[in-house]
Structure 1
């Protein structure tokens, strides 16, 4: 990315905006209608916000609450660079409600600058997913999951929300519910699914579903869906189906998506697999 630019990117999940910046520009006082979460990855910035003066350096997580007036300027002429995700408030409040927050509830980030390695890892994963996901259903499911995990982490660890149900109490007694959702994938791995739909099938919150599914299957839902599609693709290829047709028949967006999944899982391309089994 060129110096001196702020770029807004399209995100495949409604209500989420991704932005990258690498700039020496100083920004005047302004606010956003969204919750902002970002990572400074080069340089440093000073700003004045509703929570007091802020200094953020490379490796720091920065946050902004809806309606919070703030500005921003670099420490020096070298500027600074950051990545940001902006979430519409209803997305954050949906997560808060899933944790049984006391009502009425007002949710705010507690600190404008955070030092949390686990949070940083969640942010990096979510931002990469938001920026790199394609229109393929399985990638969309992975993106939705990554963004939800980030929101769930920040709500629990870094907001003012008072939650009724501790996270460790959301893990038990969900085996039969998970099996119902898993059967939905098993019965038709080609069918597009969302995290919300799978959780509803199981009769669980999204957090409960993710924790229970990973515990019961050893994989997150999107990875499990890939495995089921790969199994179907292998069966079709072994029957002599053309590779492009096998990709479509197994639910992959196209042959290149199937090839990448094949190589990650098995270390060989579909063409090499076809040559070995036919």
Structure 2
């Protein structure tokens, strides 16, 4: 597998929008989710996307719409490299998961990639086939677990403490949370820490500080976890480019 630092990828950011472009990558992602609506496009190779317990094999020309907070993974097929774009959009749109195979819409997507802007994204969203995501319903215990973790990412309560708080067995708490969210509590905590780290990196905070701010024990743990959920290093994400762009 190619070292993540050597993968050619860029991040372009503007108001309420982030565009990620990655070329010739065999890097896999752990199951994760985003607070933003995301729309992906495969331009080379194939990707296997698993979302809502369904598997989708995506090929060049395919688009995939992934709702906000929907757990998913997007990994290479048979270890072969693939190239793709991902748009992350801060939009309160309850769009459902869907794979779109429409050459005209794919061309429209590439126009957004060439000139990413809120206006071009709004035009793309208006052209998407109509689909509505079912509203997320969480049981009270799962809501409280999420709130407890998000309230203090650096020192969250343990699962034993939470189970005692809700008068539940720890195994029951974990099972309930996974049924409601599609993630284990541990995965949710790691993802939340990574998302917080991304926000701080976008704000220009020092990478060494961000790891501790996000609740990671040390820089090695921060780097490893960040890469496993984003397929990018913290430095790549912070600078918006791979080492191939460094002059």
TM-score by length of 2: 0.47
Greater percentage in helix: 1
- Answer with 1 or 2: which has the greater Rg: 1
TM-score by length of 1: 0.42
